[in-house]
Amino acid sequence: MICKTVLGKTPEWGKDCYFSETATVVGDVIMGDQCSVWFNAVIRGDVHYIRLGNKVNVQDGAVIHATYKKSPTEIGNNVSIGHNALVHGCKVHDNVLIGMGAILMDDCIVNSNSIIAAGAVVTKGTIIESGSVYAGMPAKKIKDIDPELLTGEVERIADSYIKYAGWYKE
């Protein structure tokens, strides 16, 4: 992992985290326990702070950033950020799946128990309804989440990434 101090701020993380050799985490970044940051993922807390809760996985090629002095990025617990997703200057609550290649722009809020579909673009200031699936460009609500989808996808993926990280720690 590349870990850099920027402007006197050094990334911090909790216990049982995994960072691939090519993950980059810089600046004012604090993450909880059981997080994983995968190959070529970047968490860049240079222009504003970034906070991640527990059980957050940042998959290959994903980028988490913020907007200078304006929009930090806050991510809750049990969140999966899919391959090549971009999460920028926004707030993501607990139990959320952000699909591969999705883009979340400044000041959007993704409420708990939600899914952002692969390739979706959540435009600036959008508020994602709790318990919903959003898809498209721009992202729109396409349906409510049923309990099977919540446990079958959101929880399963977050738990799976803890297992995958264990393979690399051996």
Domain ranges (residues) in the chain: 2-152
pLDDT of 62 reads: 98
The helix/strand/coil state of 148 is helix
Angle at 103 between CA 140 and CA 150, to 5 degrees: 60
> Region 139-156: what's the mean pLDDT?
91
> CB–CB of 133/115 below 8 Å?
yes
Give which of 122, 68, 130 is closest to 99, Cα–Cα.
Answer: 122
Which helix (H) or strand (E) segment is 59 a member of? none
pLDDT band at 60 (very low <50, low <70, confident <90, very high): very high
Residue 84 phi, psi dihedral angles, 5° rounding: 60, 20
Give which of 84, 83, 121 is closest to 105, Cα–Cα.
Answer: 121
Bridge-based pairing state of the strands 132-135 and 140-144: antiparallel
What does the chain come to in residues?
A: 170
Would you state the structure tokens that stand for residue 92, as one six-digit string?
A: 């993501």
Which helix (H) or strand (E) segment is 162 a member of? helix 156-169
pLDDT of 169 reads: 84
Would you state the structure tokens that stand for residue 30, as one six-digit string?
A: 């604090």
pLDDT of 149 reads: 85
> Region 123-128: what's the mean pLDDT?
98
What confidence tens digit (pLDDT) does each residue in 22-54 have?
999 999 999 999 999 999 999 999 999 999 999
Instruction: Assign domain 2-152 to its CATH architecture.
Output: 3 Solenoid (2.160)
Reply yes or no on whether the pLDDT at 147 is more than 90.
no
pLDDT of 148 reads: 86
The helix/strand/coil state of 75 is strand
As a whole number of angstroms, the longest Cα–Cα distance in the chain is: 45
pLDDT of 64 reads: 98
